[in-house]
Chains A and B, each alone.
Chain A
Amino acid sequence: MNKEEFRQLIDEIEPESNLEQRMLEGVHTHQKKSRKTRNTILSICMVLVVLLAVPAYISGLPVPRGKENERTISDEISEDDFIRFASKKEYEKYVKDNFVEEEGDFSIFSGLRAKGNFAYAVEEAAVDYAAEDTALNPSSNENFGQTYLQVEGVDEADTLKNDGKYIYYLGSSGVRIYDKNKKLVGTISKDDFDGWIADLFRYKEQLIVIGSDNNDGQKTKVVVYDLNHIKEPKSVDTFVQSGIYTNSRRIGDMLYVVSNMNIFPGEIYPKANGKEMPVEDICCVPNPDNKSTVVVSAINLTDMSSKKCTKAIVGAGSEVYCNQDNMYLTASHYDYKKDLITSTILKIKLGKEVEFVASAKLKGEIHNQYSLDEKDGYLRVAITETSDQGKDICNLYVLDENLKTVGELKKIAVDESIKAVRYLGNVAYVITYEETDPLFCIDLKNPKNPKILGSVKISGFSSVLMPIGEDQVLGIGYYTQNEDYTDLEVQEGVKLVLFDTSDKKHPKVLDTKVYKDCYSEAQYSAKNVVLYGDDYLIPMQYNTDQGGLLQIGIEGDKLNIKTQFATDQMVTAMKVTYIDNTGYCLCDDDIDSTTFK
């Protein structure tokens, strides 16, 4: 079916008669109501709070600030231990008793809606480039672009990997392997996957390709290719687990793969390599919000024939924060009855095997993996909560190793939602956005008592934060001209901001650069930022409809754009990387390059 046929069919949807008249009356009623209500605000503010609890036709009204309707439930919803099952019978009974009567939940929707983004849920990533583990780097001088990591030593999957000799890029036709001279030297066709390819890892002599296999339900497929024959890399091992691919990490030899599967009546056992998982390996978070089951596997890449450990837990997870020891999965859920959004955090201990150790539930929604950080056994979580009036409130919690809340900082900002977070030791940098758009510096030295040290207001917002040493932070984000009253404004360009955070009580903006009507993939994910020495490379789409890259240097308290490269052959650049002093832009099946000065 083409677009024209599609439109014609949709145009068959006929509104009922008199729709225009009824809509006009609705607007008219609203205008009368809101005039009346505005008068009421002036006299008795409390009445308005009650009115707003029935937001049928007055949702467009301005909401008075500073009056929070406090919830009565505890912020940390108390959790019991995981539910484990002694026999298949017990598990089947549990599933039947708890889930089967709610038929609506047995659908493709329940798992997906948890957060929506699977493959690209990895949204962001970051770390100290110098500290990657050396096994990754076969070249001695390491003069090539690598995936920006959140935690050193914890490799993250990406759509581009570079080993200094070849660039492996996930284009629209599959994996394309280029040499330094942009020559296509090898390919891996996406036809090898009966679905899509999502992510790549490059490790030792191997390229690990992760994707989905849609034959007979949703499955996640991991294929290891031997790169000794670069022209036609040979697949040496394949591993398949149930569920839609969510995310993955590599720590040394171990690859950890996470997927989400929906349990249906008659299909309640996740599978690993075609075999139903034993019931001992399945458990359930207490009071699961979601019937989606997280499947996590540990795969030893140096010994693929060894037993893989796969475990499953009911209660979805979409965002992954992972350090050398633990992986944390988060999933948000809207409870219809309580009218409350909660996030479940699941802690998984990593090693040769994986083990579910604790879970917690917090009010609100976790923005992405950068909202979490573990230090000295404490997990710090920045979270956006939505109040009864639909206002956003930013909070930060400190949880102990059992995920019990030990400290909290409430209402860092009201009417703002979290757009970016970075932790650097005992300081958290939080960017919020809606009305005043500040950067906050938060002191986490005392886990029981996190406190705001200072803040600076900026227009627009940064969506990716890159700490530069102790005293500066680079923000990559959005330029917005249109200060609309809702979150509906169209962002209108790329904005780079250099913050001075040497005085945490008084952070300040040192320099900004704006590219109007341009956009960059780096606005969406730190994974699209590449560190080049002390500089930063980001892909760009310029307002001339050309793709390209920017080389951003920091000189003292100034941003210095060292290279602004636009290619003629591509309308946008999805990824950038470099080998030696050549920068590469890639998009679909195109590649172009420029030489840095």
Chain B
Amino acid sequence: MQGKEQFKRIYDTYGEMLYRVAYLYTGNSYDSEDLLQEVLIKYMTRILPFRDDEHEKAWLLRVMINQSKNLLKKSSKKEQKLSESELKVEDAGTEQHLDLVSEIGKLPFEYKTPIILYYYNDYSVAEIANIMKISPSAVKMRLKRARDMLKIHLEGYEYE
């Protein structure tokens, strides 16, 4: 197979992280695997080089977000049920973990993304704005509103 080494490197570095991001969007392993597959295919067929590792990572996340959005758009009706029921069945983590994943699952798409990028991927507001192509103020606003919507308290940071 072409680029086996390249595949291994990218999977080892980002594979599980991307899978978890997909899981936060879809709430089930089936769709998460599909999304990861599509992102990896896009990565492997990309011709242009990346400027640096950061650019590569941001690109992968950006593709994952777009793919998730497309998937959610297409399955908007199914999705409610998926995120409600399957989450509880499939996932066997601690209670606190389950609460967090299901709370995030309930957030609207536009609010999920900044929460994931900010708290899980540790991006700054400016970086999230760049990835999401929205203004930093919009990122701040979404973070704030998402925190207000979540039943779990997430710490805000003074210099977001």
In the complex, chain A residues whose CB is within 8 Å of the CB of B76:
109, 113, 334, 336
In the complex, chain B residues whose CB is within 8 Å of the CB of A104:
77-81
The answer to the question of A26 belonging to the interface, with a C-beta cut-off of 8 Å to chain B, is yes
In the complex, chain B residues whose CB is within 8 Å of the CB of A83:
none
> Which residues 18-66 of A sit at the B interface, judged by CB distance below 8 A?
19-20, 22-24, 26-28, 30-31, 34, 57, 59-60
**Are A334 and B74 neighbours in the complex by a CB distance under 8 Å?**
yes
In the bound assembly, the distance between CA atoms of A389 and B41 in angstroms comes to 18
The answer to the question of A544 belonging to the interface, with a C-beta cut-off of 8 Å to chain B, is no
Q: Could you pull out 7 A-B pairs where Cβ atoms are within 8 angstroms? A: A1-B155, A3-B118, A9-B93, A23-B7, A103-B80, A113-B108, A336-B75
In the bound assembly, the distance between CA atoms of A574 and B15 in angstroms comes to 36
Given contacts A10-B120, A13-B91, contact A28 B63 (CB under 8 A): no
**Are A574 and B80 neighbours in the complex by a CB distance under 8 Å?**
no
**Are B138 and A19 neighbours in the complex by a CB distance under 8 Å?**
no
> Which residues 100-147 of B sit at the A interface, judged by CB distance below 8 A?
100-101, 106, 108-111, 118-120, 122, 126, 129-131, 133-138, 140-141, 144-145
**Are B108 and A214 neighbours in the complex by a CB distance under 8 Å?**
no
**Are B122 and A3 neighbours in the complex by a CB distance under 8 Å?**
yes
**Are A108 and B96 neighbours in the complex by a CB distance under 8 Å?**
no
**Are A20 and B154 neighbours in the complex by a CB distance under 8 Å?**
no
> Which chain B residue lies CB-closest to A334?
B73
**Are A23 and B37 neighbours in the complex by a CB distance under 8 Å?**
yes
Given contacts A6-B154, A336-B74, contact A488 B100 (CB under 8 A): no
Partner of A490, one of B58, B97, B109: B58
**Are A20 and B15 neighbours in the complex by a CB distance under 8 Å?**
yes
The answer to the question of A484 belonging to the interface, with a C-beta cut-off of 8 Å to chain B, is yes
The answer to the question of A524 belonging to the interface, with a C-beta cut-off of 8 Å to chain B, is yes
The segment out of A116-124, A137-145, A344-352, A442-450 that lies at the interface is A116-124
In the bound assembly, the distance between CA atoms of A488 and B70 in angstroms comes to 14
**Are B1 and A28 neighbours in the complex by a CB distance under 8 Å?**
yes
B contact patch SS? helix
In the bound assembly, the distance between CA atoms of A108 and B151 in angstroms comes to 14
In this complex, how many residues of chain A approach chain B with their Cβ under 8 Å: the count is 63
- Quote the shortest CB–CB distance from A115 to chain B (angstroms): 9
**Are A60 and B62 neighbours in the complex by a CB distance under 8 Å?**
no
- Interface set of A (CB-CB < 8 Å, partner B): 1-3, 6-7, 9-13, 15-16, 19-20, 22-24, 26-28, 30-31, 34, 57, 59-60, 102-105, 107-109, 112-113, 116-117, 119-120, 159, 172, 195-196, 214, 334, 336, 339, 482, 484-488, 490-491, 519, 521, 523-525, 541, 572, 574
- Quote the shortest CB–CB distance from A36 to chain B (angstroms): 15
**Are A16 and B29 neighbours in the complex by a CB distance under 8 Å?**
yes
- Quote the shortest CB–CB distance from B97 to chain A (angstroms): 4
In the complex, chain B residues whose CB is within 8 Å of the CB of A485:
47-48
Partner of B152, one of A1, A107, A109, A491: A1
In the complex, chain B residues whose CB is within 8 Å of the CB of A172:
140
- Quote the shortest CB–CB distance from B106 to chain A (angstroms): 7
In this complex, how many residues of chain B approach chain A with their Cβ under 8 Å: the count is 75
> Which chain A residue lies CB-closest to B15?
A20
In the bound assembly, the distance between CA atoms of A482 and B152 in angstroms comes to 40
**Are A19 and B19 neighbours in the complex by a CB distance under 8 Å?**
yes
Partner of B1, one of A13, A31, A59: A31
Q: How many residue pairs at the A-B interface have CB separations less than 8 Å?
A: 176
The answer to the question of B88 belonging to the interface, with a C-beta cut-off of 8 Å to chain A, is no
In the bound assembly, the distance between CA atoms of A469 and B29 in angstroms comes to 57
Partner of B119, one of A3, A13, A57, A490: A3
> Which chain A residue lies CB-closest to B121?
A7
> Which residues 32-69 of B sit at the A interface, judged by CB distance below 8 A?
32-33, 36-38, 40-42, 44-45, 47-48, 55, 58-59, 62-63, 66
- Quote the shortest CB–CB distance from A225 to chain B (angstroms): 22
> Which chain B residue lies CB-closest to A198?
B141
> Which chain A residue lies CB-closest to B120?
A10
Residue from B55, B101, B119 with most neighbouring chain A CB atoms (10 Å): B119
Given contacts A13-B19, A19-B15, A336-B74, contact A26 B135 (CB under 8 A): no
In the complex, chain A residues whose CB is within 8 Å of the CB of B66:
487-488
Given contacts A12-B94, A13-B23, contact A23 B48 (CB under 8 A): no
**Are A120 and B55 neighbours in the complex by a CB distance under 8 Å?**
no
In the complex, chain B residues whose CB is within 8 Å of the CB of A103:
80
**Are B80 and A112 neighbours in the complex by a CB distance under 8 Å?**
no
In the complex, chain A residues whose CB is within 8 Å of the CB of B155:
1-3
In the bound assembly, the distance between CA atoms of A541 and B126 in angstroms comes to 10
In the bound assembly, the distance between CA atoms of A3 and B121 in angstroms comes to 9
- Quote the shortest CB–CB distance from A220 to chain B (angstroms): 14
In the bound assembly, the distance between CA atoms of A336 and B122 in angstroms comes to 34
Partner of A6, one of B36, B62, B81, B100: B100
Given contacts A1-B154, A104-B80, A113-B109, contact A196 B42 (CB under 8 A): no
Given contacts A28-B1, A57-B41, contact A9 B100 (CB under 8 A): yes
Residue from A11, A113, A488 with most neighbouring chain B CB atoms (10 Å): A488
In the complex, chain B residues whose CB is within 8 Å of the CB of A105:
77, 80
In the complex, chain B residues whose CB is within 8 Å of the CB of A574:
136-137
**Are A9 and B96 neighbours in the complex by a CB distance under 8 Å?**
yes
In the complex, chain A residues whose CB is within 8 Å of the CB of B140:
172
Partner of A488, one of B38, B59, B119, B135: B59
> Which chain A residue lies CB-closest to B149?
A108
